[in-house]
Amino acid sequence: MRTGMTYNNLSREKHLIDPAMYSCDILIHNGMILTMDPLLKVISDGMIAIRKDTITYVGPKTASMTGAVTIDAGGGIILPGLVNGHTHTAMTLFRGLADDLPLMEWLTGYIFPAETRIDADFVYTGALLACAEMIYSGTTTFCDMYLFEDKVASASQKSGMRSLVGEVLYDFPSPNYGSIEKGFAYTEYLIQKWKDDPLVSIAVEPHALYTCSPELLQTAHAISMRHNVPLITHLAETHTELAEIQSRYGKSPVAHLESLGLLGPHLIADHCVHLNDSEIERLVQYQVNIITNPESNMKLASGAAPVSSLITRGATVGLGTDGCASNNNLDMFLEMDTAAKLQKIARMDPTALDAVTVLKMATCEGAKALGMGSVTGSLEPGKKADVIVVDTAKPHLTPMYNPYSHLVYAASGADVRHSIINGRLVMKDRQLLTLDAEDIMLRANEKAALVKQWVA
């Protein structure tokens, strides 16, 4: 074990808790806990207690603790639920519709024609399908950008998943809100409607610099400031975008955002593939949060984001899958593997972006990037109980010298056995408890039949 792991050397004294807390709602035991806390504490035979929605104990096993429900981790790994920092959930319904195509043919021949036809029920179905897939593969929090986002929020609520969602805003008419004024109004409606929800948070989400006028971006920024919610946009994803922004505004995307006054710790910038050194420096100085999406960047041939440089200089970088039209799944384990390997080959350095750093991107750093660092992303008393258990009693996870290596380089989402979100057991022994996967797949296939007509 070479990377900063401090094994269980905690005395019982440090973990004295209120006697009333010796009983809890959910008790997880018989596993190695990767806390992903600031010390990256690892507890080799640990126990976690949950009361209501909150973690009340993380430490060595103790016989004096009892839980209304007990989860046996079976000798596996207990870790924080994964945070998918950027996706378009409803695009699960376009999964595999059009691959291996030039970008413009993909967009204009398939994605755009289909997207003009979608409605709220389409988005709800696709989002439920995504939630089922995400729970199965260990994700407990996701950040979404798409249309009819009230329905994504509903799907998040129904599935029991934590989310940060927002309606995509752009200059052209949307199938949901028509004019951009209505788009802003819809965003404010979402902010009001969901403001007290324990699971769903709302962000203001202008699509990208090449689809949003400076005025749109500044209005979106003002709404974000007024309500103290995150502002999210795609940034510096492709060479085409760089050329377009340079041609329109005589600036790089980062400089354009800076000149509009949009850079700051409230901003979550997705992709950030093409940055020069001074732009990296500015993003760090302004404390902009960054979500990298390596599989999508590879599949669409966008490029390799300078993730190692960003992290080395102090940026908060989370990890996302992007949508299923450019990935084609929502499996954060596979995304972690690709994140590490892409940095290594892009920098021609096998030490670039090690497994611990990548797991942080998918847990504590990812949560921090979404403004949820005090809520989720690590296993610590007082945090909301977002916990997954990985079954390691499988040939491809045997033997185990280093749990971080296994999670990043050898595991897949199918190895997740149990999942708890906000103190609620949402998957037990790979059975979903909040969603009817059969019914969702049936409805997804009905929507796919429509899609085939739309792009025929």
Rg of the chain, C-alpha, whole Å: 21
**At its nearest, how many Å lie between a copy of itself and the CB of residue 433?**
15
| Longest alpha-carbon distance in the chain | 68
Neighbouring residues of 406: CB distance < 8 A, sequence distance ≥ 6? 77, 392, 397, 400
**At its nearest, how many Å lie between a copy of itself and the CB of residue 435?**
9
Paired strand residues for 87 = 144
**At its nearest, how many Å lie between a copy of itself and the CB of residue 349?**
5
Nearer to a copy of itself, 195 or 452 (CB): 452
**At its nearest, how many Å lie between a copy of itself and the CB of residue 104?**
10
Q: Which helix (H) or strand (E) holds 29?
A: strand 23-34
Tokens of 36: 């992903």
From residue 314, give the alpha-carbon distance in Å to each of 98, 284, 287, 311, 349. Answer: 38, 6, 9, 5, 20
Instruction: Identify which of 148, 155, 99, 44 has the alpha carbon closest to the alpha carbon of residue 324.
Output: 99
**At its nearest, how many Å lie between a copy of itself and the CB of residue 197?**
24
- Strands 424-428 and 416-421, sheet pairing: antiparallel
- Strands 387-390 and 77-80, sheet pairing: antiparallel
**At its nearest, how many Å lie between a copy of itself and the CB of residue 13?**
31
Whether 225 contacts 218, CB under 8 Å: no
From residue 456, give the alpha-carbon distance in Å to each of 156, 295, 326, 423. Answer: 32, 28, 20, 45
Nearer to a copy of itself, 130 or 203 (CB): 130
Nearer to a copy of itself, 308 or 378 (CB): 308
Nearer to a copy of itself, 185 or 433 (CB): 433
| CA 383 to chain centroid | 18
**At its nearest, how many Å lie between a copy of itself and the CB of residue 289?**
24
Nearer to a copy of itself, 189 or 409 (CB): 409
Instruction: Identify which of 159, 163, 137 has the alpha carbon closest to the alpha carbon of residue 418.
Output: 137
Whether 194 contacts 200, CB under 8 Å: yes
Nearer to a copy of itself, 224 or 292 (CB): 292
Which DSSP category does 434 fall into? S
CA 406 – CA 386 distance, rounded (Å): 20
Nearer to a copy of itself, 139 or 187 (CB): 139
Nearer to a copy of itself, 232 or 356 (CB): 356
Nearer to a copy of itself, 12 or 239 (CB): 239
Neighbouring residues of 108: CB distance < 8 A, sequence distance ≥ 6? none
**At its nearest, how many Å lie between a copy of itself and the CB of residue 376?**
23
- Strands 77-80 and 66-72, sheet pairing: unpaired
**At its nearest, how many Å lie between a copy of itself and the CB of residue 155?**
13
